[in-house]
Chain A
Amino acid sequence: MLAACGLSSLEDLYKHVPANALIREPLRIPPGMSEYEITAYFREKAAKMAHGYASFLGAGVYAHYRPVLCDVIVQRGEFLTSYTPYQAEYAQGTLQSIFEFQTMICQLTGMEVANASMYDGSTAVAEAAMMAYRITGRSRFLAAANLHPEYRQVLDTAAHNARMHVAGFPFDPETGRADLAALEQALDDDTACVILQSPNFFGIIEDVKAAAELAHRRGALLVVAFTEAVSLGLLEPPREADIAAGELQSFAISPSYGGPFAGVIATREKFIRQIPGRLAGETKDQDGNRAFCLTLSTREQHIRREKATSNICTNQALVALMATVFMSVYGKQGLRELALQNLSKAHYLAEGLDLRFSGRFFNECVVRPRRRSVEDALQVLLEKKILGGVALKRFYPELGDCLLVCATEMNRRADIDTLKEVLA
């Protein structure tokens, strides 16, 4: 092969690269390992992790059962090792599955258009805010204080760099819901959107309809964020919102220490040209057969460059496929039953405990341990091999005596009872 290239050694391949730019000594990376050694390496790392613990951790990442079929499908090489479907004739499998994904997200959220997924929920919310800026021409965002705190931080970073402004509005200390009177006060004619999470960070259902009315009265959009997609199996979707932006991790995506996940943005038909990311559309081939292709890419960075709606290039296609298979397996009845089990477990958990908020909740709630400090309670639970919840002090100093606990279909009654004993 070298001879075919007119070269005499491998080093000739880069002899045009200036000598100063070339590496001077070998990389300080140990010699290669065999498959067996690599497996052992990661097993050794895994041994330094929580193993065999019952978990009541939620707060944006949920432990749900993952149907076997999900991994079977995504591990098919034709999905796993394919590329972005730019060549439609050779990627109908990916394209049709994205079209189905978009449809199911619309059905779940009550919206009319959904994209082919975003990096995750936190970046989806920031992109939704930027979308509201493009639609309204306004540059101020109002975010509820009970939006996931890390989502808020991502929004702050994006807004700061785009020279826009994020203001917060408080939650009602009694109910844990967004304080809509405060929202009404905070709204002004420069507000592009109101960002409200439901169920919110405390697991509580918000009044989306009332928030939408307030926002729309001042010409602002309503963005409804969600972190627990399973809730949509049972809860009325945010039909009054203009944009739904959320996280699909609950749909068969491993917690995986925080990623990769799949975010999504769904919106109304009239905003279709402002939605960031990819869209698959239905069309026909030359013989009149149904076919699918990526569409409206003129909005995207690879055509309009500095006028692009977003710089998003990669999405989360494979992770979105996992969610698609999950939704197909559970289907219409299953998703509802799954949500009902979550609701039942969480309400069984909450019964008799000191709940910090009175608002209606789905599968998470904020609990004040009665006899112990939060730290002591978590320690006692750890000794019983239970991860007892997220201490809220790190995000809300005023809730320093509270824990955010979550129950899903994966939590067994015996473990819930143990948790209740410690927190009661």
Chain B
Amino acid sequence: MPKTLGKVRPHPTQNEPLLFELSSPGKRGYQLPALDVPATDPEAALGAGNVRREIEDFPELSEVEVLRHFTRLSTWNYAIDLGMFPLGSCTMKYNPRINEAVARTEALAWAHPYQPEELSQGAMEIIATLEQYLAEIFGMSDVTLQPAAGAHGEYTGIMLIRAYLAAQGNPRKIVLVPDSAHGTNPATAVMAGYEVRTLASNEHGMMDPAAVAAAVNEDVAALMVTNPNTVGVFEEHIEEIAEILHAKGAQVYMDGANLNALVGVARPGDFGIDVLHANLHKTFSTPHGGGGPGAGAVGVKPHLAPFLPVPRLKREDGLLRWDYDRPQSIGRVRAFYGNFGVLIRALAYILAHGGAGLRQATLDALLNANYVRARLEPHYQIAYDARSMHECVFSDARQEKKGVRTGDIAKRLLDYGFHPYTVSFPLIVHGAMMIEPTETEPKAELDAFCDALIAIAREVEENPELVKSAPHSTRVSRVDEVSAARKPRVRWIRE
């Protein structure tokens, strides 16, 4: 006999069908105004062969059905608004809602990119001001805000290097990438027409100047370095390394994904970097939105400025203008002027903090990471003994002895109500667990997170199966990603 009749769970938590399964013919959730001009016959205007009969299987729903559907889906997501998101190198910090509010300022949100420049001065001033503040934070002379994301910024940066070297007579062939690099770095270098050589990190998780010197020759165009790197360690020899590259006529590119550790404390332009990108959605608190949109600001030293993508802002007769007359430019990397709505949010963040506040945020981020490290070190193996900056990387070496891997610990964290750390990255750390708490987490949240990880370490000793079969409390249990890839079903089809 069943213990209960009927429902055993509140219905919003049960499976939410797909939009297409909820659909029923004739339902509608929209209302258009009455047409105030004569209706045009589509077949006459477009030609019979150009008019589609219907959009097959497109959903038909009422407004409340659409609202409930997406509201229910939203409850199956973890988010910063629910708790700490300790993803290393991803910088998931609180997204202040003032940023959202100002990005929706009507005359900014409805601005058309081709409206007259005289009627776009406000937007252009926002872009110019953000460029100026970022140049100050980077220690660079010029900044472009056109790239749509971090990887797009990397691509732009490497193209700048290529154009600069080509203008010197030879674009060169090779880009050096440390083995701790983000996966986008080698992919970017290849897209820009370069061959990639990997540089091994030393036992402190850093680049070794002697190894760099041995790898650099006249064929090397650039080194792509992340600093602090993906093991959360400041590249202490960065100035010396930059000198080695520069002596051979090569350039130093910095992946600014970890800029959250540096703002107001150190400036890449001051330690030998020629070009860098920063992910505005990380350091400058624009929401990640489940995977985007972002923005990938690129800063350069003066020798690379002539090559920046068009258009550039210039001031003429007291007005800002878009300048397309840049003969050495690499060209356009995106239509229009970049992800302007994201730029507004980033500027709002900088305005809220001010110079001193940005520095304080960095110090708080460093403190939080070091606090988490101090609490977890007795329970998990730290990857490198070097000092941590804004994130700390552990390995699963101790738990592996019980057959439990970093991915299992991550899934068990879900049961404790936390999004996991970054799993299995960087690749050079066996069973990596990369944790970045950011400055916006209160101590109570850090403690709850550390308590959870410490409890899991104990579970691994006492009941490893519990951890290996996690998660136990999420809406779906462990998802079969292998069969999803073997036989991909990437759209719904009516059966």
Contacts and interface: CB of A to CB of B under 8 A. Distances in A.
Given A23-B266, A311-B155, A387-B112, A237 B77 contact: no
Given A81-B288, A88-B479, A311-B154, A332 B55 contact: yes
Contact of B77 (A42, A82, A280, A308): A82
Interface string B133-162: 100110000000000111110110001001
Contacts of A295: 481, 484-485, 488, 490
B102 interface: yes
Interface residues of B, number: 187
A63 interface: yes
A21 B85 contact: no
A117 B476 contact: no
Contacts of B85: 83
A92 B107 CA distance: 35
A413 to B, nearest CB: 4
Interface string A338-370: 101101110110000000000010100000000
Interface residues of A, number: 192
A84 interface: yes
Contacts of B490: 99, 102, 113-114, 272, 279-282, 295
Contact of B358 (A29, A313, A332, A343): A29
A254 B480 contact: no
A387 B119 CA distance: 10
A23 B32 contact: no
Nearest to A74: B289
Contacts of A102: 490-491
B232 interface: no
Nearest to A113: B490
B76 A50 contact: no
B148 A259 contact: yes
Contacts of B19: 100, 104, 328
Tell which of A42, A91, A237, A285 has the most Cβ of chain B within 10 Å: A42
B332 interface: yes
Contacts of A2: 367
Contacts of A26: 264, 355-356, 359
B121 A360 contact: no
Given A99-B490, A344-B39, A316 B293 contact: yes
Interface string A205-233: 10000000000000000000000000011
Contact of A83 (B23, B92, B107): B92
Interface in B326-343: 330-342
B77 A205 contact: no
Nearest to A5: B370
B265 A22 contact: yes
B70 to A, nearest CB: 5
B52 A334 contact: no
A120 interface: yes
Nearest to A391: B114
A100 B18 CA distance: 7
B290 interface: yes
B491 A113 contact: yes
B186 A305 contact: yes
Interface string A79-93: 111111111111111
B100 interface: yes
B66 A328 contact: yes
B155 to A, nearest CB: 6
Contacts of A325: 66, 70
Given A89-B411, A256-B108, A306-B186, A316 B332 contact: no
B70 A272 contact: no
Given A89-B414, A306-B190, A348-B37, A79 B196 contact: no
B295 to A, nearest CB: 8
Interface string B163-195: 000000000000000000001101111111100
A218 B77 CA distance: 48
B443 A1 contact: yes
A283 interface: yes
B29 A254 contact: no
Given A78-B79, A285-B480, A306-B187, A46 B107 contact: yes
Given A257-B111, A413-B36, A90 B187 contact: no
Contacts of B443: 1
A290 interface: yes
Given A17-B236, A338-B32, A94 B359 contact: no
27 contacts: A7-B370, A10-B367, A27-B355, A39-B98, A45-B125, A49-B107, A81-B81, A84-B290, A91-B78, A92-B73, A92-B77, A94-B291, A122-B332, A205-B47, A272-B488, A283-B479, A294-B481, A296-B485, A301-B187, A308-B187, A311-B191, A314-B151, A317-B292, A318-B292, A338-B30, A412-B36, A416-B37
Report, nearest first, the 8 A-B pairs whose CB atoms are least far apart: A258-B336, A318-B289, A77-B81, A32-B354, A317-B291, A45-B122, A260-B293, A48-B122
